[in-house]
Amino acid sequence: MPFANLKVPAETLTPESKKKLIDAVTDAYVDVYGERARATTLVLVDEVVEGGWGLGGTILTADMLGRS
């Protein structure tokens, strides 16, 4: 079963854009494994809350991510 776990900043995706992202990742797996993979491809979208991101030891904020 193909599996993708995507981490995104919380409240940055609408339900429509989340669906578009899931569909795109599923399609990418299908492009590699063939149509048989579509039914078993699992895509999880985890929304990470403010302060839950770090890069190089620095906590990333909404301001730093350009979401303020």
2 is catalytic: yes
Q: How far is CA 39 from CA 3, 55, 58, in A?
A: 12, 35, 39
Catalytic residue among 1, 2, 12, 32: 2
Sign (positive/negative) of CA torsion 27, 29, 32, 34?
negative
Which positions are catalytic? 2
